Structures are given as C-alpha cells and as structure tokens.
C-alpha cells in the first residue's frame, strides 16, 4: 500500500467553490482501480491550502492505471482553475520499525554514522 499526498494551493477567495466542486472529482478517484481510501485536510495556518491524501494498493495504481484512464484529465478540467500553483504530489510507504534492543544510554555516543 502507498499513500499519495498532494498539496493543493487554491486561489484565496475561491475555497468555498473549490470545496463544493471537490466531491465530484473525488468520485472519480474513489471508483478507480486500486483505490483504498482518501482524506482531504485544510491547513489551519492558511485556509487556501489543502492536502489530498489518497491510499492506493500500489503506486502503479495511481501513476499508471489512474492517470492513463482519462479520470485525471476530468479532474484537471474540474479543479485546476482553482489552483494558484500546480499541485505537488509525493508517495510514501509505511516503515516497519523494529523494537530497539536497548534504550538509549546517556553514555552512548550521539554521533551520526551512516547506513553500511
């Protein structure tokens, strides 16, 4: 599973129109192959910034299957007029961390050593 984060900068003053149009665009995403879930968040510091978070079964489901299906083009027609700058998207995967063998001791060196 991968999580897609897209930062959306909406022209100030157009947030309500953007939010009323967004559900139509999200419908195109939710019906896509490989779609798992999504969330939309608005910045508490800048009400014209939004984060679209979409979980996919794989990066290929977003980058290949979804983008080549024609759905992305429809979303652009619906939403891109609201964007102040072009959206930036990044993909992340969950990191499974191992339980530490011991706790950090104050006597342990704190210098960084790279992966070997």
pLDDT in tens, the chain (116 residues): 999 999 999 999 999 999 999 999 999 999 889 999 999 999 999 999 999 999 999 999 898 888 888 888 899 999 999 999 999 999 999 999 988 876 666 666 667 777 66
Element (H, E) at 107: none
Cα separation, 35 vs 55, whole angstroms:
6
- Residue ranges and CATH numbers for the domains of the chain are 2-92 (3.30.70.100)
């Amino acid at each position: 599973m991968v999580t897609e984060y897209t930062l959306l900068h909406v022209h100030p003053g157009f947030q309500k129109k953007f939010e009323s149009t967004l559900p139509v665009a999200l419908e195109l995403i939710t019906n896509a192959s490989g779609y798992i879930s999504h969330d939309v968040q608005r910045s508490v510091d800048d009400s014209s910034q939004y984060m679209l978070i979409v979980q996919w079964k794989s990066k290929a489901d977003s980058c290949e299957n979804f983008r080549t299906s024609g759905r992305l083009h429809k979303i652009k027609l619906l939403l891109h007029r609201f964007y102040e700058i072009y959206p930036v998207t990044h993909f992340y995967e969950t990191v499974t961390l191992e339980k530490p063998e011991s706790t950090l001791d104050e006597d342990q060196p704190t210098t960084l050593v790279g992966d070997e």
